[in-house]
Chain A
Amino acid sequence: MAVASTERRFDLLIRAEALPEPEKEWLIILRRFARHRLAVASAIGLIIVLTVSFFARSIAPYTATELEIGNAFATPLSSTEAGRTHWLGTDHLGRDYFSRIIFAGRITLTVAFASVLGSSIVGVLVGAVSGYFGKWVDEILMRFVEFLLTVPTLPILLILSSILIQSPELIPVPEFVINGLSAAMYIAPREARQVVMVIIVLMSFGWLTTARLMRGMVLSLREMEFTEASRALGASSLRIIVRHMIPNAMAPIIVDASLALAGYVITEAALSFLGFGIQDPTPTWGNMLSFTQSYMFQHPWLPLIPGLPIFFCALMFNFVGDGLRDALDPRLKR
């Protein structure tokens, strides 16, 4: 009989019922996540929000830009002569508020997820390269990251955003990205280009913390035996980074990304609110809130409606991130 590998021995022992069946890793994580009640509640809430945004077209009774001239500032639950109901009333141009909130959610969440995906990819790559190669590569990249981290973020974001919104042709974006986004968000390509610019602006500072986090992880992973082993087996740097470093550093990156989502929702809303983000015909929670400022003295419910989803989405992303940290934290691992 050939010598059994360690794995095979475990397998034999388990079959002989001498060892308990090992639990699947993701089950352990799920069970630990479930212990965080608020995180579970938030995850459910987010799933609802995402579902509503996904089926926006079927749920929203109107389109985002449909005007009803002469029916501005309709009160919530009011009906039109045609017998259709404005669940949340209409805005200052007579557009259905409920529909706009739903379409805005679709856009805001797309921006948040796209930014987080983009900045995580950039951050992970920069951090991995910087940590793995060390020496002058590390020196240059990390000095650059530190420099950007000391720069006051919001003013720079505002300047970048105002420039890119005014002249989006400064950064060339492939047509298929624009067309894809414009189809996904039910907006014109011109407006989709604006959305892409805001995503780029958010990404421009978003990748910094991820890069530092990843670099720290890689620095410790680089010294592990399995890295040495794969290097001894002749694996290339690229293979070691992609197959060993990145998968092993995934847990803190995921936690970081889910917490970052909350930040992106708020920052996007802040840019739109100050008038330097996505512009009006395209609805976002931020620019809807911004417009209500002029009318809130007569129509006090108007600001509450777009403001609450910003707050709750940020809160839910924060709680889910917190729950994921508890679930994925290796220090708590059995």
Chain B
Amino acid sequence: MTAYLIRRALQMLVVLFVSALVSYLIINIAPGGPLAGLRQRVGTSTSQISEDDIARRRAYYELDLYLPYRFGRWLIGVPSGPIKIFGKTLFSDHIVGCRKPVEADVMDDKGEFHLVTVGCNEYVTMADLEGRRTSKGIVRGDFGTSWGILRDRPVFGLVLTRLPRTLELMGLSILISLMIGLPLGVYQAVKQYSSFDYTFTFFAFAGSSMPTFFFGIVLILTLSVLAKNAGLFWLPPGNAVGVREYFVPMLGTITPGSLLDQVLHVIMPATVLVLFNTAFYSRFVRSSMLEVMRQNYVRTARAKGLIERVVILKHALRNALIPFVTVVVYALPGAFGGAIITETVFNWPGMGRLFIDSLGRNDYPVSMALLLITAFLTVVATLIGDILYTLVDPRIKYT
């Protein structure tokens, strides 16, 4: 087991490194980026932006460094200047980037012009890196600073402000979905082909076919807009807390930030996620239960004369839950990564919406941080699932 865990941990590191590398490359090689708008303005005759301005901006975004160095600085905070050993300074003339690239319109074989970097006027050397603001590298928990959403503030702090809201929403909805989905699936399997089973199978299909964004909009439309216009009990349509006092029939005036205010805000987004997750969980448990109930040991348990409740709960359910474990562990990355679509629809200030915002505003450090956190938790969840597997099923042994 120990050997297995060590091997898995090493594999995890490799997977994480590869996914960090790939996502970093995808994001950085992509055209556009934070300077795209600037370049267009330079081309015009009334431009007030000098080449030095652009060089400064490029340095700010570290775009003047070559990709491997940029990646190294982002990942482990190296290189941060010339290497100093025994009082000697090494590699101080080593070129790590280009401050003022020469760009030219080059015609390709189709006769279209493209802006291509053809040379370099001024290089960046290792010595220039000294004194530059640098992150300690994400390996040491420093995710760098934000470029746009909260400029120059640490990404980690930004994430921390969003995390509680996501944990609140996701935790609540996953808990409720489990509480509904598990017994529902079990009961459906026990009463297979009953009208109860058919009804909830239909609901499960509907729940998994219902796009979360559409269901969210329908809820806002009915429970917020129409209900409020009709003078009925209504729910606030967006955000996690109210901005100012508001009046809800039956409950009276609600002060923003109070518990009741937060509860009212979380109801609709949680409902959307609960419907989706419950549909998924109940279908999974149902089919897993059906599989188990066909097994011989269940028949044996019945033949022994055990009461049905014991057969189902102790013999069938415990075995049916084994594959369910591997599904439930993925709630972990979900709980931290947030629900991108639902949070967007309900304007929920969580991690999912932060990701969308960061993509829209080219705030790459934030996007990368969120991607990596989710990837890390997914890998951890997979490992936890495998370990739990051995605990719930003694037949499985890892070597």
- List A residues at the B interface (Cβ < 8 Å): 38, 147, 150-152, 154-156, 158-160, 162-163, 166-167, 170, 262, 266, 269-270, 273-276, 289, 292-293, 296-297, 300, 303-304, 307, 310-311, 314-315, 317-319, 322
Contact A155/B374 with A166-B31, A274-B340, A296-B221 known, Cβ cut-off 8 Å: yes
Residue of A nearest to B198 (CB): A38
| CB pair A167 B375 closer than 8 Å | no
Contact A315/B214 with A155-B374, A158-B356, A275-B360 known, Cβ cut-off 8 Å: no
| CB pair B340 A163 closer than 8 Å | no
Chain B residues whose CB sits within 8 angstroms of the CB of A150 once the complex forms = 15, 375, 378-379, 382
Contact indicator per residue, chain B 332-368, by CB within 8 Å of chain A (1) or not (0): 0100010011001100000000011001100000010
Q: How far is the CA of A262 from the CA of B374 in the complex (A)?
A: 26
Does B30 make an interface contact (CB < 8 A)?
yes
Contact A314/B209 with A147-B18, A296-B217, A303-B221 known, Cβ cut-off 8 Å: yes
Contact A158/B359 with A300-B221, A303-B217 known, Cβ cut-off 8 Å: yes
Selecting from B85-93, B174-182, B200-208, B387-395, the interface stretch reads B200-208
Q: A-B pairs with CB below 8 Å: how many?
A: 110
| CB pair B209 A262 closer than 8 Å | yes
Q: How far is the CA of A303 from the CA of B219 in the complex (A)?
A: 11
| CB pair B356 A300 closer than 8 Å | no
Between A and B, 5 residue pairs with Cβ closer than 8 Å are: A150-B15, A276-B359, A296-B225, A315-B209, A318-B208
Does B327 make an interface contact (CB < 8 A)?
no
How far in angstroms is the closest Cβ of chain A from B369? 12
Q: How far is the CA of A160 from the CA of B26 in the complex (A)?
A: 8
Does B306 make an interface contact (CB < 8 A)?
no
| CB pair B356 A152 closer than 8 Å | no
Chain A residues whose CB sits within 8 angstroms of the CB of B15 once the complex forms = 147, 150
Residue of A nearest to B36 (CB): A166
| CB pair B221 A156 closer than 8 Å | no
Does B226 make an interface contact (CB < 8 A)?
yes
Residue of A nearest to B340 (CB): A154
Residue of A nearest to B27 (CB): A159
Contact A159/B378 with A152-B371, A314-B211 known, Cβ cut-off 8 Å: no
Chain B residues whose CB sits within 8 angstroms of the CB of A158 once the complex forms = 340, 355-356, 359
Residue of A nearest to B221 (CB): A300
| CB pair B209 A151 closer than 8 Å | no
Q: How far is the CA of A317 from the CA of B206 in the complex (A)?
A: 11
Q: Which of B26, B213, B333, B345 contacts A152 (CB 8 A)?
A: B333
Q: How far is the CA of A297 from the CA of B27 in the complex (A)?
A: 37
How far in angstroms is the closest Cβ of chain A from B15? 6
Q: How far is the CA of A90 from the CA of B163 in the complex (A)?
A: 41
Chain A residues whose CB sits within 8 angstroms of the CB of B240 once the complex forms = none
Chain A residues whose CB sits within 8 angstroms of the CB of B360 once the complex forms = 275
How far in angstroms is the closest Cβ of chain A from B293? 16
Does B32 make an interface contact (CB < 8 A)?
yes
Q: How far is the CA of A152 from the CA of B356 in the complex (A)?
A: 14
How far in angstroms is the closest Cβ of chain A from B202? 7
How far in angstroms is the closest Cβ of chain B from A303? 5
| CB pair B23 A163 closer than 8 Å | no
Q: How far is the CA of A166 from the CA of B27 in the complex (A)?
A: 13
Chain B residues whose CB sits within 8 angstroms of the CB of A296 once the complex forms = 217, 220-221, 225
Q: How far is the CA of A276 from the CA of B355 in the complex (A)?
A: 13
Residue of B nearest to A314 (CB): B209
Q: How far is the CA of A282 from the CA of B213 in the complex (A)?
A: 20
Task: List 15 extra interface pairs beyond A151-B378, A289-B213, CB under 8 A.
Answer: A150-B375, A152-B333, A152-B378, A155-B355, A158-B359, A163-B31, A167-B32, A274-B340, A293-B217, A297-B225, A303-B217, A307-B214, A310-B214, A318-B205, A319-B205
Chain B residues whose CB sits within 8 angstroms of the CB of A292 once the complex forms = 217
Chain B residues whose CB sits within 8 angstroms of the CB of A147 once the complex forms = 15, 18-19
| CB pair B217 A155 closer than 8 Å | no
Q: How far is the CA of A160 from the CA of B371 in the complex (A)?
A: 13
Does B210 make an interface contact (CB < 8 A)?
yes
Does B370 make an interface contact (CB < 8 A)?
yes
Q: Which of A155, A266, A276, A307 contacts B218 (CB 8 A)?
A: A307
| CB pair A269 B211 closer than 8 Å | yes
| CB pair B202 A38 closer than 8 Å | yes
Question: What 6 A-B pairs come out closest when comparing CB atoms?
Answer: A307-B214, A314-B209, A315-B209, A163-B30, A167-B31, A152-B374
Residue of A nearest to B370 (CB): A155
Q: How far is the CA of A29 from the CA of B71 in the complex (A)?
A: 56
| CB pair B211 A307 closer than 8 Å | yes
How far in angstroms is the closest Cβ of chain B from A251? 18
| CB pair A151 B225 closer than 8 Å | no
Chain B residues whose CB sits within 8 angstroms of the CB of A269 once the complex forms = 211, 213
Chain B residues whose CB sits within 8 angstroms of the CB of A311 once the complex forms = 209-211, 214
Q: Which of B19, B26, B213, B225 contacts A159 (CB 8 A)?
A: B26
| CB pair A300 B226 closer than 8 Å | yes
Chain A residues whose CB sits within 8 angstroms of the CB of B210 once the complex forms = 311, 314
Q: How far is the CA of A274 from the CA of B357 in the complex (A)?
A: 11
| CB pair A315 B359 closer than 8 Å | no
| CB pair A155 B225 closer than 8 Å | no
Chain B residues whose CB sits within 8 angstroms of the CB of A293 once the complex forms = 217, 345
How far in angstroms is the closest Cβ of chain B from A292? 8
How far in angstroms is the closest Cβ of chain A from B157? 21
Residue of B nearest to A273 (CB): B213
| CB pair A274 B356 closer than 8 Å | yes
Residue of B nearest to A313 (CB): B209
| CB pair A266 B209 closer than 8 Å | yes
Q: Which of A163, A270, A274, A289 contacts B26 (CB 8 A)?
A: A163
Q: How far is the CA of A166 from the CA of B374 in the complex (A)?
A: 25
Chain A residues whose CB sits within 8 angstroms of the CB of B337 once the complex forms = 152, 155
| CB pair B23 A159 closer than 8 Å | yes
Q: How far is the CA of A317 from the CA of B219 in the complex (A)?
A: 24
Contact A289/B217 with A166-B31, A296-B225, A318-B208 known, Cβ cut-off 8 Å: yes
| CB pair A300 B211 closer than 8 Å | no
Chain A residues whose CB sits within 8 angstroms of the CB of B367 once the complex forms = 159
